[in-house]
Structure 1
Amino acid sequence: MPVAGLSVAGTPPTAAELDWRSKDRLPDAVRNSLPAFCKGGYLPSVTESEPGGVFGEGAAADVPLHASGLDARYEVDSELYLKGDVRLRQGNFQATGSEARYNQSAGQVAIQGPLVSRGNGFLLTGDHAEYSVDTGRFDINTATFLLHGPEMRGRAESLSRMDDSRVEIREGMLTTCGPRQNDWSVVASEIELDQSEGFGTAKHVRLEVLDVPVFYWPYASFPIDDRRKSGFLYPQFGSSSAGSGAFLAVPYYLNLAPHYDATLTPQYIHGRGLFNEAEGRYLSSLGETTLQLGYIDNDSTYRDENPGESGQRWALDATTRAAFGGGWRGYGDFSVVSDEDYLSDLNRSLEINQTTHLQRKGGVRYQGPNQYFDVYLNDYQTVSDRIAQASKPYAQLPEALYAGTTEAGIFEAGLESQYTWFHRDNDTLTGLDRANGQRFRARPELAVPMRALWGYSRPSVSLDYTRYDLEDYTKGDGSFDRTVPVVEWDNGLYFDRQSSLFDVPYNQTLEPRLYYAWADAEADQNDIPAFDTALQTFRFEQLFRPDRFVGGDRVGDANQLTVALTSRFNDLVTGAERARFSIGQVQYFKDREVTLFGEGGGDRSRSPLAGEVVLNPLQNLQIRSSGLWDPETGETEEGRSQLVFHSEDYRYLATVGHTYSKGELEQSDIGAVIPATDRVSLIGRWVYDSDLDRTVGSLAGIEYNNCCWSVQVVHQNYLTDDEELDSRLLFQIQLRGLGGSGGSSTSISEAIYGFDERERRRFGTP
């Protein structure tokens, strides 16, 4: 068998050294899949289909023993002695060695090393072994082993295969680091692997870094296949959110039944005390339900910062999804926290984003070929105490949506409808803010769609009807309705031509578009509350919508024509869209008089020019820019530009962006991950606000990778609610095959596009 050349002279190679190959000796497909920071990988010396190994069908007295060697001596009915290139096989067991003695009467084979036993995904070496022909028990001294699947290697003073499915290891060590590279390892006095149950147990377990013990478990259990097993998971440690200090967590997994389980995570946070998180999962034939809880009885830091508070804090997050069949689905989401600082102070596992409002929503939905139905209850918890009651969102108790289309000859008929009961606590509110009640909205439409290869035309007529039945309405009778006729006519042409650029054939399109909209809405609608309505941000896609408002409480008046042009460049070899240019403008034939309490009206005859540019010159490079330019003033109203680049393996990442809104905001940002060496990468992001003339966010860090562990250390500055720049130090350690601690990667992923994909690929996972 070939040897990688790592073993000390005169010492037999270990199992890992037998199958280890430097990167230049690996097949191209294997070498190209390795990250740059890996110096090599494992390649079995023989085909994995050969029998053998510590697990298998085992031997039995009626299964013949096959033995061979260069020299043999046989005493009838007594002993067989083999020497030189000894090979043994019985059933699923096989081994090679230098010498072997088979005691026929006792059914025992003594094998002298260097001994090698290879099986499906398992390689074993040792100095000396005893094998029972009758029972299949296999005892080996000074053993080393290699698991090809997880690329995990180890050693043991002794290893015993007790039966077909059970292996005992004494004074064992295992790691995912390469041969003779014990950057980290797990050492245990006793390890038992039970294939029939699918788990292993270990006693007196130590985590060692560079052969120095850093953590101790008296007992641990762990899975050795895909089956789940109750037991302690690997401890987690690190620094939680800003101001919380260091933490230590010891998760415990409960495999309660095949269709439900739970994970309990008690943890100690310096300066706060004992904090507990729990997660339960339930899987049924319909779908999955997850419940997550967090609780601390006495948060000393929070109590000191908030005199009068008890220090008892908690959070809950629940999700459920169900598929009933026939297009019907059910869903539910519920989140609640005890106080507005819980998410920033304590949360590590609950799937709740940092936000001002936590949603509680549940309902059923139907999705068919030509129709859609959704009914749900929806409410919010407003997390921040600084938000006024009048600014809090309304609950929908309930809301029902229905939409459908059908064809009748040359006509296409459609209906969009919505019923909502809006509710918000109104004891302290006055005027329109005090109103609660029901709203029904229906928008039937009749259209004549005409399509051809060279273009399309779609004239349509619709009626936007809304009815209110309100309580605590101070403007008069709470029952009233509104009807607005709407006419739309959307037209487009398609031209294309083929050419080539730098010997690459491409197809260029020219797509002019005319869109007309007319809506006869009453000018004064400000006697209607704004339950869910806002003014849409003007963008290129807004050029082709009849209404400038979202929500149902305003219907904008319109008499306008949009003229737009789009051109695309498509690579005819790969089919990729390499470039897209779009520009358009709205011509207004009358003033816009409908407003949302003063916003949304206008008397200019033309809108700003809205444009978009998307360039994909390379597979891994995208340049995107959009904006509004006013030809009357010659000024840019809004703009957003972004460049995103990543190398094929995501080792290099770069983002450059600029955001501008006239009179409101101008910010520039740049982010990058740049390898300094094969193993060291620099991470950074900077956000600068030109109006404030200050940095409003930054992130700087360093990452080290090798093939069995990695570490990230990141310093982050971020703007708080009171517009002060706060900072925190984040880190994350990943031990391949063992998990990790800390949480820096989440913050980096939020700051730098593509970093989450890079994390997924770091160890070459598919």
Structure 2
Amino acid sequence: MLAASITLACVSAQAQEPRSAAAIDWVEWEQLPPELQEKVPAYCGGAYRPPALESSSADDAPVGEGDGRPVHITSREARYRMDETLDLSGDVRVRQGELRARSDRAQYNQSSGMLNLSGGVVSRANGVLLTGNEAEASDEGGSLTLNTARFLLHDAHMRGSAGRIKRTGEEAMRIDQAVMTTCQPGRNDWSLAASGVDLDQASGFGTARNVRLRVKDVPVMYVPWIRFPIDDRRHTGFLYPTFGSSNAGSGLFLATPFYMNLAPHYDATYTPQYIHGRGYFSELETRYLSRFGQTDVQLGFIDSDSEFESENPGMDGKRWGLDVTSDADFGGGWRGDLDYAAVSDDDYSSDLNRTLDIQQNTHLRRDGRIRYSQPGVNFSAALRGFQTIDPAIPEGRRPYNQLPRVQLDLSTSSGNWYAAQDTEYNHFWRENRNLQGMDAAVGHRLRTRPEVGWQLRGLPGFVSTSVMLDHTQYELDDIERDERFSRSVPFADVDAGLYFDRFFDVGDSFYNQTLEPRLYYVYSPEREQDGIPVFDTRLNSFNFNQLFARDRFVGGDRVGDNNRLTTALTSRVYDMDAGIERARVSLGQIHRFDDEEVALNGAGTTEERRSPYAGELVLRPLETMDLRVTGQWDADERETVRGRSQFRFHTSDYRYLFNAGHTYDADTDLEQSDVSTVLALGEQTSLIGRWLYDMENRETAGTLLGLEYSSCCWNLQLVAQRYRTRDEGLDTRFLFQIQLLGLGGSGDAQDTARDAIPGFDQRTAIRERPTPEQLRRPAQERWP
């Protein structure tokens, strides 16, 4: 019994001259539709656009024993012999399941189930296009063998040639004497030549043996075996290596990341590195996605850091760093998050940290928190700790651990009236064996803030008023004064504003301008607080938004005395056609009726009746340009107290990007400029740069200079970076990376530029490679 049936039809179609597989589906860039031209760079020359295949019918289901499926054949001429051989000629077309094939001639043996094709053979199936002069197919399992063939893998954008190709099933293929590349037709910037290649479309992977990497047909490297992805799914395998150097004790290094796709919800990246002068260093990053959220774990370890041991006699050379982050949504208003970082020693971040998210800060934060939120109820419970990694910070200035911190906020409203109750409990602790006086204090703090208010909002403006009592109780240890005491400070405030607007035209554009005057008054009496330790309190930064803050302190250990009125004015311009804010300017000032006496470490007091003016300016005249300026101006001294300005301009495709910033603070003698850019030197080459300059000390605080070359089949990044370290020196770091597109991976050179230059990553975000579905030709261009 035959495992397949045959359907024959004769048609009058013209035979076509055979072309290479890549040339058949290649469409020049000028001929692509506009929506694809936006995603495909012009320098790529075009894209592969496979036609839609004729849908398989129900008759294509396997019949009889095995996997045999019916074979459908059409041709211009057909002759049946007595030996059960069928000769076909003239535009022969074959269809079996998902397999499609064409040729000039064919011979089918009904007894053996073998089909021989010759003359301009073209075959399609499951995103693979094959061409050759001769082919042999079997109706058992859909196998197909081509000699002296060419192939195209659409999902991998990979083309090549082979001495022999054997398709062993609908999703498996063996290629002998293969040469393959992801470069466009007519360009072989790089290619892989292999004695044998196995492609498994089910797993999305290919493996190659005896591989030679060739650049412009010149062999440059040999590897006995490689594994590479053939679609866009996540796959286990090596990412691109990174080579670089640093003069801050890291030396020359070579990193070869290995990505492991362990499960759809779980993966890991292991990065072994060799660092000259230190030894072998390993970093591991894992990501786990549950139904509640994602957890990331990053770990770095070196068993014996020879340079660290020589610089620190008697200290263990085993060094490590750990960073764990997690964010979970349990449902019903419950959430949880974790942020925990730790290192073996103070110098780990500057010496060894490369891919971990641990930054070169003075303190590493350790937070674990659970939260609940519903209308009128907000609850959180947290454990918060720190590891200080800057030995220059004295013990008395190191942050307290909060073990635990519990907060409950309740609110309700009825008409224009509302009531609220904020309650916060903390237990503060830190090592205090070497501390004295208030610096040695540890203990408990309970803070409650009941509030009642009334508010009215409408089109002409708004008015709100409230009274609040800030009550705090302490129970302390390790101090010489009373262990238990409390402090209560009442507050009363009024906030009111008006809203005026007008409409106007500029050419064909329609705009709305507003004028928004605002008054804010707050009163709270002075309470003696010099005998209260400072656990978590700081002075609020002075800016336009802080003009309307109830208190000048953040935290519960100081409550300010206030008798002040804020006057402010804001004007906005809305583009009514685009629906965005084009401009905003705000200016305000605090008028004090009494001296402010409550101090925090000697700061926070003033006898001035007027504060500096605080203002902000935001301009967005174009979609690709914006300017933001904030600052404070002392009218009495006629000088700027502090200011910050940021300007950004970019083209719509972000190939040209310019950022400029300036920061000034008279209190800390800080004045810095920050300029960064991405400048396209051509269609494929970009210059990357950043310069951070300390204007106060007239010296460079950091630089970055890079060159990036992008083609459609390989990318090159060269980056040189200098940045200030904790000891006020400048570290110099060089990074080099080359990517062969289609073989997977990413790396440090591009990540460094992305972190340093705002907007850098938008270039790839707005121009993602089109998906196979987007590239497929319309249904009317179906391939029968």
Q: What TM bracket, shorter-length normalisation?
A: over 0.9
Q: CA deviation at 1:349?
A: 2.8
Alignment partners' CA distance in 2, 1:341 and 1:208: 43
Alignment partners' CA distance in 1, 2:483 and 2:657: 57
Cα deviation 1:588-627 (Å, max 9, x = unaligned)? 1111001102101000111111111100000010011111
Picking from 49, 59, 73, the partner of 1:43 is 49
- Give the equivalent residue in structure 1 for 2:7: none
Task: Answer yes or no: is the 8 Å Cα contact 1:51–1:120 preserved in 2.
Answer: no
Which stretch of the first structure deviates more once superposed, 638-647 or 214-223? 214-223
Residues 1:598 and 1:681: Cα distance change in structure 2 (over 3 Å): same
Alignment partners' CA distance in 2, 1:348 and 1:153: 36
Other structure's SS at 1:594 match:
coil
Other structure's SS at 2:38 match:
helix
Q: CA deviation at 1:762?
A: 5.9
Alignment partners' CA distance in 2, 1:49 and 1:422: 72
Paired amino acid for 1:570: Y
Q: Does 1:465 align with 2:483?
A: no
Q: CA deviation at 1:353?
A: 2.3
Which residues of structure 2 form unaligned runs of 5+?
Answer: 1-15, 772-784
Cα deviation 1:126-157 (Å, max 9, x = unaligned)? 22210002332111122322232342223332
Q: Does 1:395 align with 2:401?
A: yes
- Give the equivalent residue in structure 1 for 2:9: none
Other structure's SS at 2:355 match:
coil
Residues 1:259 and 1:565: Cα distance change in structure 2 (over 3 Å): closer
Alignment partners' CA distance in 1, 2:720 and 2:61: 55
Cα deviation 1:553-594 (Å, max 9, x = unaligned)? 111110111111111100010101000011111111111001
Other structure's SS at 2:175 match:
strand
Q: CA deviation at 1:484?
A: 0.4
- Give the equivalent residue in structure 2 for 1:6: none
Cα deviation 1:507-556 (Å, max 9, x = unaligned)? 1111111111111131x312111111111111000000121111111111
Task: Answer yes or no: is the 8 Å Cα contact 2:229–2:744 preserved in 1.
Answer: no
Q: Does 1:620 align with 2:606?
A: no
Residues 1:659 and 1:449: Cα distance change in structure 2 (over 3 Å): same
Per the normalisation by structure 1, the TM-score is 0.92
Task: Answer yes or no: is the 8 Å Cα contact 1:57–1:92 preserved in 2.
Answer: no
Residues 1:512 and 1:195: Cα distance change in structure 2 (over 3 Å): same
- Give the equivalent residue in structure 1 for 2:348: 342
Alignment partners' CA distance in 1, 2:380 and 2:28: 58
Cα deviation 1:288-333 (Å, max 9, x = unaligned)? 3333221111222333343443322111222233322211122222
Q: Higher RCO, 1 or 2 (CA under 8 Å, sep at least 6)?
A: 2
Task: Answer yes or no: is the 8 Å Cα contact 2:288–2:294 preserved in 1.
Answer: yes
Alignment partners' CA distance in 2, 1:324 and 1:298: 42
Paired amino acid for 2:752: S
- Give the equivalent residue in structure 1 for 2:689: 684
Residue pairs, 1:206-245, within 5 angstroms:
206-222=212-228, 224=230, 232-234=237-239, 236-239=241-244, 241-242=246-247, 243-245=249-251
Cα deviation 1:665-693 (Å, max 9, x = unaligned)? 22222211111111111122222222212
Other structure's SS at 1:433 match:
helix
Picking from 433, 444, 450, the partner of 1:444 is 450
Q: Does 1:573 align with 2:601?
A: no
Picking from 320, 328, 338, the partner of 2:326 is 320
Picking from 270, 278, 287, the partner of 2:293 is 287
Residues 1:35 and 1:182: Cα distance change in structure 2 (over 3 Å): same
Residue pairs, 1:655-694, within 5 angstroms:
655-662=659-666, 664-694=669-699
Picking from 292, 309, 319, the partner of 1:303 is 309
Number of aligned residue pairs: give it.
750
Q: CA deviation at 1:413?
A: 0.4
Residue pairs, 1:126-137, within 5 angstroms:
126-137=132-143
Paired amino acid for 1:635: E
Residue pairs, 1:418-429, within 5 angstroms:
418-429=424-435
Paired amino acid for 1:606: R
Picking from 558, 562, 577, the partner of 2:562 is 558
Which stretch of the first structure deviates more once superposed, 507-516 or 74-83? 74-83
- Give the equivalent residue in structure 1 for 2:10: none
Alignment partners' CA distance in 1, 2:178 and 2:410: 66
Picking from 633, 638, 654, the partner of 2:642 is 638
Residue pairs, 1:185-200, within 5 angstroms:
185-200=191-206
Residues 1:368 and 1:732: Cα distance change in structure 2 (over 3 Å): farther
Alignment partners' CA distance in 1, 2:587 and 2:240: 56
Other structure's SS at 2:763 match:
helix
Which stretch of the first structure deviates more once superposed, 599-608 or 525-534? 525-534
- Give the equivalent residue in structure 2 for 1:22: 28
Which stretch of the first structure deviates more once superposed, 291-300 or 168-177? 168-177
Paired amino acid for 1:149: D
Paired amino acid for 2:641: E
Other structure's SS at 1:33 match:
coil
Alignment partners' CA distance in 2, 1:155 and 1:458: 77
Alignment partners' CA distance in 2, 1:465 and 1:209: 74
Alignment partners' CA distance in 2, 1:311 and 1:81: 78
Task: Answer yes or no: is the 8 Å Cα contact 1:487–1:518 preserved in 2.
Answer: yes
Q: CA deviation at 1:35?
A: 2.7
Q: CA deviation at 1:244?
A: 3.0
Other structure's SS at 1:651 match:
coil
Paired amino acid for 2:116: A
Q: CA deviation at 1:11?
A: 9.8
Residues 1:378 and 1:58: Cα distance change in structure 2 (over 3 Å): farther
Picking from 74, 78, 100, the partner of 1:68 is 74
Picking from 512, 515, 530, the partner of 1:507 is 512
**Aligned-residue CA RMSD in angstroms?**
2.5
Identity of aligned residues (%): 50
Paired amino acid for 2:543: R
Task: Answer yes or no: is the 8 Å Cα contact 2:156–2:230 preserved in 1.
Answer: no
Residues 1:651 and 1:57: Cα distance change in structure 2 (over 3 Å): farther
Q: Does 1:525 align with 2:529?
A: yes
Alignment partners' CA distance in 1, 2:67 and 2:82: 19
Q: Does 1:430 align with 2:436?
A: yes
Cα deviation 1:378-405 (Å, max 9, x = unaligned)? 1111122222211211100000111121
Picking from 375, 381, 384, the partner of 1:378 is 384
- Give the equivalent residue in structure 2 for 1:3: none
Which stretch of the first structure deviates more once superposed, 565-574 or 658-667? 658-667
Which stretch of the first structure deviates more once superposed, 743-752 or 498-507? 743-752
Which stretch of the first structure deviates more once superposed, 67-76 or 407-416? 67-76
Paired amino acid for 2:631: G
Q: Does 1:715 align with 2:720?
A: yes
Alignment partners' CA distance in 2, 1:20 and 1:58: 34
Q: CA deviation at 1:444?
A: 1.0
Residues 1:49 and 1:621: Cα distance change in structure 2 (over 3 Å): farther
- Give the equivalent residue in structure 2 for 1:156: 162
- Give the equivalent residue in structure 1 for 2:701: 696
Other structure's SS at 1:671 match:
strand
- Give the equivalent residue in structure 1 for 2:187: 181
- Give the equivalent residue in structure 1 for 2:609: 605
Paired amino acid for 1:145: F
- Give the equivalent residue in structure 1 for 2:744: 739
Alignment partners' CA distance in 2, 1:160 and 1:57: 23
Task: Answer yes or no: is the 8 Å Cα contact 2:278–2:307 preserved in 1.
Answer: yes
Task: Answer yes or no: is the 8 Å Cα contact 1:112–1:127 preserved in 2.
Answer: yes
Q: Does 1:412 align with 2:402?
A: no
Picking from 344, 351, 368, the partner of 1:362 is 368
Cα deviation 1:244-300 (Å, max 9, x = unaligned)? 344444445555566545443333233322222223444444333333221111222
Other structure's SS at 1:448 match:
strand
Residues 1:51 and 1:214: Cα distance change in structure 2 (over 3 Å): farther
Residues 1:111 and 1:377: Cα distance change in structure 2 (over 3 Å): same
Task: Answer yes or no: is the 8 Å Cα contact 1:241–1:345 preserved in 2.
Answer: no
Other structure's SS at 2:431 match:
coil
Q: CA deviation at 1:499?
A: 0.4
Alignment partners' CA distance in 2, 1:98 and 1:630: 88
Q: CA deviation at 1:463?
A: 0.5
Q: CA deviation at 1:488?
A: 1.1
